[in-house]
Amino acid sequence: MLEGLRARLESSGSIIYKALKCEQPTSKDLMSYMHILYQICPYWKFAYTSANAGTQWLLLIHALASRPSGPPFIRVTGVDDSQSFHVRGGGLNIVGKRLSEYAKSCGVPFEFHSAAMSGCEVELENLVLQPEEALVVNFPFILHHMPDESVSIENHRDRLIRLVKSLSPKVVTLVEQESNTNTSPFFQRFVETLSYYTAMFKSIDVTLPRDDKQRISAEQHCVARDVVNMIACEGAERVERHEFLGKWRSRFSMAGFAPCL
C-alpha cells in the first residue's frame, strides 16, 4: 500500500506497474506462488475451489468419470492474455497437460484448446464450439481486467458478456473480489483497497507470520502489482477494475441472463 501511495505521489505508478509486470516469475514459479496463496488465504481458497479453471475441472472430470451411463466427451478452451508471463511461460499448456493427463487416468474423453489472447480480443471463432454441445463458461478473476464504458466506448466488458449470452450456455460462473476500484474516485478507491487487503492479510496472519519467506514471495508476486495498479494508475493504464456484486448482477441482467434460483 505504501509503495502504491509513493508511486502515485511521484506519478510513477505506470512505470512501477510495468516494472513489476516485467519481473513476473516464470509460469511454473508463478503457479507455485499462487498455490501458496491458495493454501494460506481462505478467500482465495474458497474462490478457486468453487470456480477455478484448474481445480474445479479436476473435480468435474472425477465426477463425470463415475456416471452410470459413462463419461461424456469434454472440450475445454482456456483463454489467457498472450502478453502475460503466465502464457509466455507455458501456463495454458501446463494446465491443458495436467487436465488431459487426469482425464486420461479417469477414462474420460477430453480435449483442450488454448487461446493466448486478451479477453478483449475474444471472438466466437476463438472458442472452438460444436453444435448441440452443452456449454459452460467460467470467469475466474477475468472480467475486472476488461475495460468498460467508463474507460472505452468499445466497452469490452459488456461485449464479452453479451457474446457469451448469445451462445446460450447452460451455466456461467463469475468469481471477483467484492470491491469498487473501477469508477470510484481515488480516495474512496484507496479506502476500498485498504479495507479489502487488510482483511485478507489479517486472515493470512492466522496461518503464517508476516516475515515468512514463502508468504512474502506469494504476496509480492500475486498481490503487490495489483495494489500498485489500483492506487497509482489511472485511465486505460488502470486495469484492476473491480466492481460490487450488484453491478455485476446488473451487467449480466442487461445481457439477458437470469440468476440461478
Give the SS3 label for residue 128.
Answer: coil
Contacts of 154 (CB under 8 A, 6+ apart): 120, 147
Q: Does residue 139 contact residue 165 with C-beta atoms inside 8 Å? A: no
Using a cut of 0.75, tell me whether the model's pTM lies above it.
yes
Specify the length of the chain in residues. Answer: 261
| d(C-alpha 50, C-alpha 175), whole Å | 9
Sequence-distant (≥ 6) Cβ neighbours of residue 44 within 8 angstroms? 37, 38
pLDDT in tens, 104-158: 999 999 999 988 888 889 999 888 888 889 999 988 888 999 999 999 899 999 9
Query: Which residues, given as ranges, of the chain have pLDDT below 70?
Result: 12-31, 47-56, 81-91, 261
